[in-house]
A and B are shown apart, each in its own frame.
Chain A
Amino acid sequence: MGGLSTSLLIGVEALQTTQGALTATSNNIANANTAGYTREVPQFSENQQTHEGNEVINGGVSLTGLQSVRDQLLNLQIQNQTSLQSSADTQSSLLQQVQTYFTTTGEDITSELSAFSTSLAQLSANASSSAVKQGVLSSGQNLAQAFNTTANGLTSAQSDANTQVTQTVAQINSLTSQIAQLNGQVAQLTAAGKDGGTTEDQRDELVQQLSSLTGISVMQTSDGETITTGNGTPLVMGSNSFSLQTTTGTDGMQHVLDWSGNDITTSIQGGQLGGAIQIRDQVIPGYLSQLNTLASQFSASFNAAQAMGFDSNGNAGQSFFTVPASGAAAGMSVSITNPSQIAVSSDGSAGSNGNVASLTAVLTNALPSGQTPAQAYANLIDQVGTAASGASTESTAIGQNLLQLTNQQSSVSGVSIDEETTNLIRFQTAYEAAARIVSTIQQLNTDTMNMMS
């Protein structure tokens, strides 16, 4: 049946369709400032028209659904950059903490090396003075203490990074569990032919948060999103999540295990977790190793110089410093307890100061590493400063790139009020003009009838 019934049906469908579009629009506007919101576009389809003689039956339009405007490639780029930035931020933050142990405080290694050198110079000028010898002993103790403090500071920063690993893994597990749950909800909504846009937005937001915790790889599958770490360890597959675990390794650090118990610590990159592991397992151990080498080589060289001379009692010089085999900087100490044990004499005779030059030379000659103690330490400071500054610079650069990507995402998924308003006003104007023509055509009908009569 065509005619009026068809028109009425078309009208009802049109109202329902318009209502759907209106709901989508109001939702877009209401969420114009909601972080992570993706605008939705109503999808329409034309209903099939059939002709019976001069009559047209059916037709009209249906609202087939609301489509969220997403750019998956952009989302992946943003996740990747978020991961890199978060890693750089974490590294920058931990390196700033490390840097504080290398700054000049008057009690740092540079200052104490200088003070030790000064005390030895004074000893050279006045080798028989007990007070000057006491000064050498004290400055040696202060130098050893400075090595201890710096090494303990590095260990403390390493411990902080270790704590961060445990906390981050707990956060990752919480997020993957929520994402898996949302994956299931999206699948159910899609199966029921409903719009899952809002749920997908929530999931995208959580995936974004997850990418700031660790580097991830996201794939769209029939079950929803499959998320793995960079090396392929599954975190989320459809509505299932795979928890990571932590366990204390033989090195005393927390190691990350995948759901099946494999140690994946070394393969984790990116995000807070990757940044913390990088600093904890590679950067700080590297600095500690150099510091230990310096402490060990300096102590050995000074002890060797001591052994070349004789103390005030005519005894062969004994070791001035003691360093443990492992953790030389943290365990460095002065082994002599009496100023008279400093091997000033080169021949064991009283009043000789021939060995002071040998002791002093340790500070100015190159160690086995090829650098003087001060140079070796300055080199270490330079490395720490460069690394901290590099991490900060990298974070800033990635941040700018991320901003650009986020803006681009906003231009795809965001709501432009200006554009909407302009289009609405133009439509209104066009409709008003069209309405005047409609009444003119109605009048023309009367005129045509008159013409034909």
Chain B
Amino acid sequence: MIESVAQDRESKLAEYLQLMRLMAFELDRAMKAIADNSLQALEDSVANQQVFSDRLGELAEDLCRPASERSVSQAKEVNSRLMEQIGAASDTLQNLNRRYSALLKHSSHSVALMVSLFSSFQGQMQEDSGTRFNQHTWSCQI
């Protein structure tokens, strides 16, 4: 029974580690998408991040739940190497998250300013016609 609990915990920790690495990859991808002004890539990445963060939240809640002292002590022995890897992945993720947070803050600010600029523009707009080139007249990348 205790072995089964330990194996289950190890399996969840492995998934937790994998998800943190995937999340780090997605944050990196999202920052690159913003730098490239690639809206579609950013939206795709944010959708993936949502899935990963939901699952990470569930796993964290599960793994932090109090267990019997014996099972915890046995699990600690089994997972010590895994826990080191999780610690390192967590540090990487936090660093990336701080950069991502700063990037979003600046970009959101510029987007908000631009939205306000567009909203406040009074006058006749001349809509273009014909085949448009896929070019943007603004950018908010950092």
**A interface with B by C-beta (< 8 Å):** 7, 10-11, 13-15, 17-18, 21-22, 24-26, 28-30, 32-33, 39-42, 44, 46, 60-61, 69, 404, 407-408, 410-412, 414-421, 423-428, 430-435, 437-438, 440-445, 447-448, 450-452
A358 → chain B closest CB, angstroms: 70
Q: Given contacts A69-B135, A433-B46, is CB(A452)–CB(B110) below 8 Å?
A: no
Please provide the chain B residues from 80 to 128 with a CB less than 8 Å away from any CB of chain A in the complex: 83, 86-87, 90, 93-94, 97-104, 106-115, 117-118, 121, 123-128
Residue in A17, A428, A443 whose CB lies within 8 Å of B112: A428
Q: Is the CB of B39 within 8 A of A423?
A: yes
**B interface with A by C-beta (< 8 Å):** 20, 23, 30, 35, 39, 42-43, 46, 49-50, 53, 56-57, 60-61, 63-64, 83, 86-87, 90, 93-94, 97-104, 106-115, 117-118, 121, 123-133, 135-142
- Kindly state the separation between the CA atoms of A32 and B122 in the bound complex, as whole angstroms: 11
Q: Is the CB of B142 within 8 A of A29?
A: no
Residue in B46, B57, B110, B111 whose CB lies within 8 Å of A440: B57
Q: Is the CB of A10 within 8 A of B142?
A: yes
Q: Is the CB of B86 within 8 A of A21?
A: no
- Kindly state the separation between the CA atoms of A61 and B63 in the bound complex, as whole angstroms: 40
- Kindly state the separation between the CA atoms of A432 and B111 in the bound complex, as whole angstroms: 11
Q: Given contacts A42-B139, A425-B115, is CB(A407)–CB(B107) below 8 Å?
A: no
Q: Given contacts A44-B141, A450-B64, is CB(A21)–CB(B110) below 8 Å?
A: yes
B24 and chain A: residue at smallest CB distance: A441
Q: Is the CB of A431 within 8 A of B102?
A: no
B60 and chain A: residue at smallest CB distance: A447
- Kindly state the separation between the CA atoms of A25 and B109 in the bound complex, as whole angstroms: 15
B101 → chain A closest CB, angstroms: 5
Q: Is the CB of A15 within 8 A of B106?
A: yes
Q: Is the CB of B140 within 8 A of A427?
A: yes
Q: Given contacts A424-B114, A428-B108, is CB(A21)–CB(B50) below 8 Å?
A: no
The interface residues of chain A lying within 8 Å CB-to-CB of B135 are 41, 69
The interface residues of chain A lying within 8 Å CB-to-CB of B87 are 448, 452
Interface centre among A29, A411, A431, A435 (most CB of B within 10 A): A431
Residue in A28, A447, A450 whose CB lies within 8 Å of B138: A28
Q: Is the CB of B133 within 8 A of A434?
A: no
- Kindly state the separation between the CA atoms of A448 and B59 in the bound complex, as whole angstroms: 10
- Kindly state the separation between the CA atoms of A166 and B89 in the bound complex, as whole angstroms: 81
B98 → chain A closest CB, angstroms: 7
The interface residues of chain B lying within 8 Å CB-to-CB of A423 are 39, 136, 138
Residue in A17, A30, A424, A435 whose CB lies within 8 Å of B142: A17
- Kindly state the separation between the CA atoms of A355 and B44 in the bound complex, as whole angstroms: 103
Q: Given contacts A21-B138, A24-B137, A33-B126, is CB(A444)–CB(B56) below 8 Å?
A: yes
